[in-house]
Amino acid sequence: MTEVRAFFRRHGVSIIVLGVMAAIWQILSLLYTTEAVPGEPMIPGWQVVFTRTLISLSDYWQGGLGVPSVAEGAPPSYTAALLAIVSNSLDTMVRLYLGLLIGGLVGTFLGLAVSWSKWSRRTVELPLQFIRTLPLLAMVPLFQLWFGIYFAGKVAFVAYGVGVIFFAGVVNAVKNVPQVYIDNARTQGANRVQLYLTIILPSIFPELRATILLSLGTAWGAVLGAEYLGAQSGLGYIIVYSEAFAYLDRMFVVALLFVFYASISYAIFNRLSLKLLQWMPRVGRVIVVG
């Protein structure tokens, strides 16, 4: 009971504000009843979202597990709708986290590699800056042409977006490692490899926290972008399909799911990284936003 009370004391205002936002949405839906197409309100109220919309999501269930799909002639049901949400969310998340993993590893590795000498770092800095300004989402069509519209294309796109951020983040973080640390290890006879393992890697992690948070946000955007243009499943696919028919209520449900998943992934990462950084003095743990 005390834990519940503590939770509410800490997050009480946020919960109330979210409740008020939900109420304002409802009021807007009552005041502004224009319809995008007949039967599809511009602002779907909660009474629509939790009944008609939720059940209509069973359109996206592809059958199996003893629950027939709507395409096979079965009537829409809450079971199928729930399965549709779970299976499409899983599809999106597999693409997201696989891309994140590959991009993170490749980006970190390349970043460490060019940081090996001052000359290689100076060589990549300017071209990297230009590559970073190329708008990621506008490159979706290119990745489709290169890697196809199936699984590989989406993962490659997320990995590219995440990889560029990690690459830049690692290069910058290594540059900011205090020279004192390096000199000190050098005078004690550490070689390059030892230097990387014992000094560079642990000291860049705090700065990489901001990079990882940024790449999480980018990854969510990228996976959606990849699904936007040619996918047969996933949350992005549902949004595209819904937009074509102006099903604003379905888009709204998926948007809510997105905010929910993204917030959870941020929260998990925050907890995890704070735990990993417990050895640091407080100063180094400041969260960097932006």
> Which chain residues interact with another protein by CB under 8 A?
13-14, 17-18, 21, 36, 42, 119, 122-127, 129-130, 133-142, 144-146, 217, 220-221, 224-225, 228-229, 236, 239, 242-243, 246, 248, 251-252, 254-255, 258-259, 262-263, 266, 289-290
Query: Shortest Cβ distance from residue 109 to another protein (Å)?
Result: 18
Give the residue from 83, 88, 58 showing the smallest Cα distance to 73.
58
40 forms bridges with which residues in the sheet?
37
Q: Quote the tokens at residue 65.
A: 């597990």
Pick the closer one to another protein by CB: 130 or 279: 130
Please name the residues in contact with 227: beta carbons below 8 A apart, sequence gap of 6 or more.
92, 95, 154, 234, 235, 236, 237, 240
Which 3 state secondary structure label does DSSP give 36? strand
Query: Shortest Cβ distance from residue 132 to another protein (Å)?
Result: 8
Pick the closer one to another protein by CB: 185 or 257: 257
CB-based burial, 87-123: b 16+ in 10 Å, e otherwise: bbbebbbebbebbbebbbebbbebbbebbeeeeebee
Pick the closer one to another protein by CB: 67 or 210: 210
Query: Shortest Cβ distance from residue 129 to another protein (Å)?
Result: 7
Query: Shortest Cβ distance from residue 73 to another protein (Å)?
Result: 30
CA–CA–CA angle 238, 242, 246 (5° rounding): 165
CA–CA–CA angle 35, 231, 224 (5° rounding): 70
Query: Shortest Cβ distance from residue 268 to another protein (Å)?
Result: 14
Pick the closer one to another protein by CB: 44 or 104: 44
Pick the closer one to another protein by CB: 61 or 220: 220
Q: Quote the tokens at residue 135.
A: 């708008």
